[in-house]
Amino acid sequence: MLPASDLQVFLRFAERIADETGRMLREHRQAARGTASRFDTKADSSPVTEVDRRIEARMRELIKAALPHHGILGEEFAPDAVDAEFLWVIDPIDGTKQFIAGVPVYGTLISLAHEGRPVIGIIDHPITGERWTGAAGRPSTLNGQPIATRTCERLADALMSCSNPETIGPAQRMGFERVRAATRWRIYGASCYAYASLASGQIDLSIDSGGHREVDYCALVPVIEGAGGAISDWEGRPLTIHSGSSLIAAGDPRRHADALRLLQDDAQHSAGRST
């Protein structure tokens, strides 16, 4: 267990990083207003901009200057000391497509993992002036005020979000469609803002698979858990720096369990067909 005093020091440092990245994103938005964003396409077919790279480079610079023995796992550059006891997991712009389009639901994700498990998470949305913070064993906050997820009596009453249904592959499509059909309403395309809204009690269920990696979900874990919600992979396992590309979160842990049962029906059906 990480001492509370150490956790507080690291949390303050994470907020310093968010202050700097938020300033950079606001300045860019002001300077680039009314102009098209240029971008490159990476090997995984996802877009990347010069701003992504510049902000991550600055984040790495701050971490290395203050905590040289810590590792860094980022979106745009090669991993650095990923076997270290403490690993910073960073995404300079989560929602790069939205950033390119000028839709202000993109944010910066900052997480500190201790022995592989996320213990600090920040979801920072500088354009809307909102910052969600979470730390292991502490209540999560939005702009310094405590937040809580909401109860949801039935999955049939739930508002569900998905960042992008297009990334869900054939092997997981049936499970996803069962969950989607079981909910009442759906919204798409909000990226990490949807998971932050879930922590604030505005969304009941968030589900994604494919196209996601550690930099996309590690920061979400402390925020959602500290607000009373549940988050895991599609098999119900806790998310760590070694998890795959699927995640599911619910404000009400009972609905998280319901959705997992619908997802896991695929494995049960496959087992039945092979016997």
Query: What burial letters (b/e) apply to 53-79, b meaning 16+ CB within 10 Å?
Result: bebbebbbebbeeebeebbbbbbbeee
Pairing of strands 205-209, 86-94: unpaired
Tokens coding 172 = 């997981």
Residue 14 CA, chain-centre distance (Å), reads 15
Is residue 18 within 8 Å of residue 223, measured between CB atoms? no
The Cα 130–Cα 148 span in angstroms is 16
**Residues with Cβ < 8 Å from 106, sequence gap 6 or more?**
93, 94, 95, 96, 98, 99, 125, 127, 191, 193
CATH architecture of the region 4-146: 2-Layer Sandwich (3.30)
CATH class of domain segment(s) 155-274: alpha beta
Q: Return residue ranges of the chain for CATH 3.40.190.80.
A: 155-274
Question: Over its length of 275 residues, how does the chain's per-residue pLDDT go in tens digits?
Answer: 788 889 999 999 999 999 999 999 999 888 877 666 777 777 776 777 889 999 999 999 999 999 999 999 998 999 999 999 999 999 999 988 899 888 889 999 999 999 999 999 999 999 999 999 999 999 999 999 999 999 999 999 999 999 999 999 999 999 999 999 999 999 999 999 999 999 999 999 999 998 778 999 999 999 999 999 999 999 999 999 999 889 999 999 999 999 999 998 754 444 333 33
Of 111, 82, 105, nearest to 93 (Cα)? 105
pLDDT of residue 40: 74
Of 154, 123, 149, nearest to 203 (Cα)? 149
Is residue 225 within 8 Å of residue 138, measured between CB atoms? no
As a whole number of Å, the end-to-end CA separation of the chain is 44
pLDDT of residue 271: 36
Question: Which 3-state string (H, E, C) describes the chain?
Answer: CCCHHHHHHHHHHHHHHHHHHHHHHHHHHHHCCCCCCCCEECCCCCEECHHHHHHHHHHHHHHHHHCCCCEEEECCCCCECCCCCEEEEEEEEECHHHHHHCCCCCEEEEEEEECCEEEEEEEEECCCCEEEEEECCCCCEECCEECCCCCCCCHHHCEEEECCHHHCCHHHHHHHHHHHHHCCEEEECCCHHHHHHHHCCCCCEEEEECCCCHHHHCCHHHHHHHCCCEEECCCCCCCCCCCCCEEEEECCHHHHHHHHHHHHHHHHHHHHHHC
The Cα 200–Cα 228 span in angstroms is 10
pLDDT of residue 273: 36
The Cα 6–Cα 3 span in angstroms is 5
Q: Return residue ranges of the chain for CATH 3.30.540.10.
A: 4-146
